[in-house]
């Protein structure tokens, strides 16, 4: 068990030019969750995690707004101008100069790194009484990566960038993954010695390794078991690839836990969604955000479940149904072509095909909730205009627009009286036929 406090520094200042977007790279999303959010969640899950510091730069106000809204106790520090990774870490020094613990440095565009891996990384650093630990990985084709150089005794001696590597060094397959764990009191001095004497005139964090080796400090490397975890996002193509990787892991986890997913190739389910045993997910279902789905449900095909859905047991969600921030209790059916948003739906409710909960007021910008209690029924093509409550065992007639509460066991109907014009079609056809002669 660790007894050291841990602070993390997340590097999130870059624009991400290859993303071809005005949005900061770290705010691009997978399953509606920004890349930075995945990294913050992972570092926050480490035992003894004490504080997260996010280094922001491009569109700093947007990144800071996201962080402040979603991660209490996380500090944002601006790097301007952006003079390299070493300079980015230096921006945090005034806030942690007297810190006695471990500091980890992670990139904000690596959403696949897991909290489990980071915890193992820190534990390795602690067990080896290291002053500096570099996360590394082994690639059959290590092109474009900095190489981990060891001496004949297998001791870590340097990181050599590919452009500076000789033929022998280029053959090394162990590479620098770009994640660091530092015993802060031992390594803080390295940052005052960083130099920008290079072609880019930038300060590189990799230079702290050379400094630590020259000081005869204990420098270690932790070899990553799953290379996918350090996959960095630099383009929209990378974003799509990372989405597929996360989705595959999520689907495999769910199937291992007893969920039947008919077609994994066309199904997307966020890692934060929990689904119970014997639930069937039909093709072309998309589930994003944090949701809970019970046992023995049937979802889809072509359903979309958004963030904040809590779905009970034995629930049926039909094809082309959208669910958002709603609670749906046991044994309820939501039929095809329906939208259920910001709603509390009881048990044994039948939502008829094409039912819409109209939850948004475009003038006030307020989203109101719909309450449909146990045993109630909505007919096909109903519109329920929130805020409104449909009480127990009430029934809404097909085609109705409901704007007032409906009392228990009653029928609500707004349908206009039916009028039938006898022989209207026949007379119309005779007129048209006569006009063409």
In the structure encoding, which two tokens stand for residue 130, read together? 């290291």
**Whole-Å CA distances, 139 to 180, 189, 227, 273:** 19, 32, 8, 32
Specify the DSSP class assigned to residue 415: P
Specify the DSSP class assigned to residue 80: S
**Active site members:** 336
Rounded-to-10 torsion of CA 88, 203, 22, 244: -80
User: Cβ(108)–Cβ(88) under 8 Å?
Assistant: no
In the structure encoding, which two tokens stand for residue 404, read together? 């007032």
User: Cβ(107)–Cβ(178) under 8 Å?
Assistant: yes
Is the CA virtual torsion 395, 400, 405, 407 positive or negative? negative
Specify the DSSP class assigned to residue 263: -
Rounded-to-10 torsion of CA 160, 161, 162, 168: 0
- CA-CA distance, 360 to 371, in Å (whole number)? 15
In the structure encoding, which two tokens stand for residue 59, read together? 């569109």
């Amino acid at each position: 068990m660790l007894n050291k406090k841990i602070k993390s520094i997340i590097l999130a200042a870059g624009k991400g030019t290859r993303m071809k977007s005005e949005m900061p790279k770290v705010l691009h999303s997978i399953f509606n969750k920004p890349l930075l959010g995945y990294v913050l969640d992972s570092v926050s899950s480490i035992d003894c995690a004490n504080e997260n510091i996010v280094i922001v730069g491009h569109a700093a106000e947007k990144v800071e707004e996201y962080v402040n809204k979603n991660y209490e106790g996380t500090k944002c520090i601006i790097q301007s101008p952006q003079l390299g990774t070493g300079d980015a870490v230096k921006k945090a020094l005034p806030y942690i100069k007297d810190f006695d613990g471990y500091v980890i440095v992670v990139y904000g565009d690596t959403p696949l790194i897991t909290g489990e891996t980071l915890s193992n990384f820190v534990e390795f650093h602690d067990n080896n009484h290291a002053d500096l630990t570099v996360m590394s990985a082994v690639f059959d084709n290590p092109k474009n990566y900095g190489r981990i150089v060891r001496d004949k005794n297998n001791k870590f001696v340097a990181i050599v960038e590919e452009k500076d590597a000789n033929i022998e060094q280029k053959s090394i397959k162990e590479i620098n993954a770009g994640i660091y764990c530092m015993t802060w009191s031992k390594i803080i001095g390295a940052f005052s010695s960083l130099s920008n004497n290079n072609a880019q005139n930038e300060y590189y964090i990799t230079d702290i390794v050379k400094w630590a080796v020259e000081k005869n400090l204990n420098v270690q490397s932790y070899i990553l078991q799953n290379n996918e975890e350090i996959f960095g996002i630099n383009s929209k193509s990378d974003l799509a690839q990372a989405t597929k990787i996360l989705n595959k892991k999520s689907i495999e986890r769910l199937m291992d836990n007893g969920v039947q997913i008919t077609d994994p190739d066309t199904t997307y389910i966020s890692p934060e969604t929990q689904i119970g045993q014997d639930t069937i997910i039909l093709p072309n279902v998309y589930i994003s955000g944090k949701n809970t789905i019970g046992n023995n449900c049937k979802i889809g095909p072509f359903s979309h479940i958004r963030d904040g859905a809590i779905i009970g047991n034995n629930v049926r969600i039909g094809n082309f149904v959208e669910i958002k921030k709603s609670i749906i209790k046991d044994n309820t059916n939501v039929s095809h072509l329906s939208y259920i948003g910001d709603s509390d739906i009881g048990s044994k409710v039948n939502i008829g095909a094409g039912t819409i909960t109209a939850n948004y007021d475009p003038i006030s910008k307020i989203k109101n909730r719909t309450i449909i209690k146990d045993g109630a029924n909505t007919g096909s093509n109903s519109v329920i205009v929130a805020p409104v409550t449909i009480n127990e065992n009430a029934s809404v007639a097909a085609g109705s627009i409901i704007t007032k509460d409906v009392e228990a066991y009653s029928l609500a109907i707004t349908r206009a009286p039916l009028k039938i014009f006898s022989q209207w079609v026949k007379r119309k056809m005779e007129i048209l036929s006569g006009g063409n002669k």
